[in-house]
Structure 1
Amino acid sequence: MSGALSERYGSMFDLTGRSVLVVGGGGIGAEVAAALAAHGAAVTVADVDAAVAAAVAERVGGRSAAVDVTDTGSVAALAAAGAPDVLVTTVGMNVRRSLAGYSDAEFDRVLSVNLRGVFTLIRAFGPVMAAAGRGSFVAYSSIRAQTVEPGQGAYAATKAGLVQLVRTAAAEFGPSGVRFNAVAPGVVATELTGQIRADEAWSQAYARRSALGRWAEPAEMTGAAVFLASDASSFVTGSVLLVDGGWTAVDGRFDPPLPG
């Protein structure tokens, strides 16, 4: 490779000197923090559980912070520390229940974490990143923003809403040099999907549902974050990057057992 080509393209994914804030230290978030650190970023891990954030930060050689995305003051305090070059949020929760069986408290909790939490992060960090004239904000959505099944109604609604928030933020903050994108994972072996994997029929049905015929590991969700954080995606904003093993490309259905 010529020197000119190497200079232009060889460092496209290099994050050396970039400050990255990963909000949500469990599951996918822990692997995202590790991958970004491996590409040279200075990573801060924030989580509602300070111990989780500290453990991941120690693993990746970064810093930690406690934050509750459902608390406006908590998020504002985190943003007051300054604008990161990159913010990645993987926060999310689910209550698997039929719509008719949902309680008001359950619905409000899912909405508060998955949708309002991301809105609060955008509202707090969008302006400070815009003031810095740069930045990449990456929010983890889900294939459930596009395709649903019984018991996923509230979760799917929040993930679809998240995508629209990200698209709107891309439009509003784009002129200031800040990019906003979403990543939509398929079925990933994390604590959030433990209920599914504990049921053999359900687990196998999910594995067969994707084009690749298997579950994903959390580490397989990190390449999208590295790409969207880096200069390789400098003209990518308002997009949703599917990392679903072909789930949304093929057709199938499974009705899981549901309470309520």
Structure 2
Amino acid sequence: MEKTTPYAEMFRLDNFRALVIGAGGIGGEVAQALAAHGAEVVCADRDGSVAATTASAVNGEPLTLDVTDPEAVRQAAHDLGNVDVVVLTAAMNVRKRIVDYSLEEFERVVDLNLKGTFAVIKYFGETMMQRGTGSIIVFSSIRDQVVEPGQSAYSATKAGAVQLVKAAAAEFGAAGVRVNAVSPGVVETPLTNQIKSHPEWYQAYAAKSALGRWSVPSELTGAVVYLASSAASYVTGSNLRVDGGWTAIDGRFTPPH
């Protein structure tokens, strides 16, 4: 039977070692939240300067890591040794309609969002299974369920990532390793500047959620802390939506009373 944690401590991550892959933007906020709850955080990014900046902010350890290189992921899992929590936020999108997509662009999106996710789950899952404990948290998106023009490859990879999470949960569960996903809605980050620069586009996205606004990165961190902690000790194979109600709503028009 799983040992219960006192309620006052169930979200604490003291003595946990966490790895955040994609340490800028949302990942930077996640690293701060994990550290604030007591975790020792390794901050990884393909851009070493981003990893170093976030690591400095949380008194953590920087790591330059490109998850599109499976051997580098395998080596990182080996070198880091005991990691209790892995959070993968790294992803990319090429916003084009299918007929305008090049195969090279499609491959780049798949390489990071799907192949990279597979490599992280595979290699870090393997080390966690050997230890008999661990939590892997993969960032997906509302696009794993609902789409719009120009989101074909991105949506396909995010849906695929959720299925990888479910398969890993089924395969790793007996060894005591949990695997879950977090699916944000629209988030205020530098990557969404293209949308923010078009007021009508920006407002249409805000109006689509039940809360009528965009989120900010800090609003995603509670979901990660929860899934990383003993508060979620019986949660695996789940996809926690932090989307302001976006995927719960059908249509943007409110009928008259």
Task: Give the alignment's TM-score, normalised by structure 1.
Answer: 0.94
* Shift >3 Å, 4+ stretches: none
Matched, 1:38 2:16: no
1:121 aligns with 120
1:72 aligns with 70
- The structure 2 residue matched to 1:12, chosen from 10, 13, 20, is 10
User: Cα distance, 1:146 vs. partner?
Assistant: 0.4
1:209 aligns with 208
Q: Matched residues, percent identical? A: 57
- What is the letter of the counterpart of residue 71 of structure 2? G
User: Cα distance, 1:192 vs. partner?
Assistant: 2.3
Contact 1:86 1:136 in 2 (8 A): yes
**Map of 1:103-182 to 2, 5 A cutoff?**
103-182=102-181
Contact 1:83 1:125 in 2 (8 A): no
- What is the letter of the counterpart of residue 202 of structure 2? S
5+ unaligned residues in a row in structure 2: which ranges?
253-257
Distance (Å, rounded) in 1 between the aligned partners of 2:30 and 2:207: 26
SS of match in other structure, 1:80: helix
User: Cα distance, 1:180 vs. partner?
Assistant: 0.1
- What is the letter of the counterpart of residue 22 of structure 2? G
Aligned length: 248
- What is the letter of the counterpart of residue 184 of structure 1? S
Contact 1:94 1:192 in 2 (8 A): no
SS of match in other structure, 1:16: coil
1:26 aligns with 24
Contact 1:115 1:161 in 2 (8 A): yes
User: Cα distance, 1:150 vs. partner?
Assistant: 0.4
SS of match in other structure, 1:93: coil
- What is the letter of the counterpart of residue 74 of structure 1? A
User: Cα distance, 1:252 vs. partner?
Assistant: 3.0
Deviations 1:99-143 (A, max 9, x none): 110001110000001111000111111110000100000000000
Distance (Å, rounded) in 2 between the aligned partners of 1:222 and 1:186: 13
- The structure 2 residue matched to 1:55, chosen from 53, 56, 65, is 53
Distance (Å, rounded) in 2 between the aligned partners of 1:136 and 1:123: 13
1:4 aligns with none
Distance (Å, rounded) in 2 between the aligned partners of 1:229 and 1:159: 21
5+ unaligned residues in a row in structure 1: which ranges?
1-6, 254-260
Contact 1:138 1:183 in 2 (8 A): yes
User: Cα distance, 1:251 vs. partner?
Assistant: 2.2
Distance (Å, rounded) in 2 between the aligned partners of 1:121 and 1:63: 18
Distance (Å, rounded) in 2 between the aligned partners of 1:230 and 1:251: 33
SS of match in other structure, 1:65: strand
- What is the letter of the counterpart of residue 205 of structure 1? A
- Root-mean-square deviation over aligned CA pairs: 1.2
1:218 aligns with 217
Distance (Å, rounded) in 2 between the aligned partners of 1:189 and 1:219: 10
Distance (Å, rounded) in 2 between the aligned partners of 1:107 and 1:198: 25
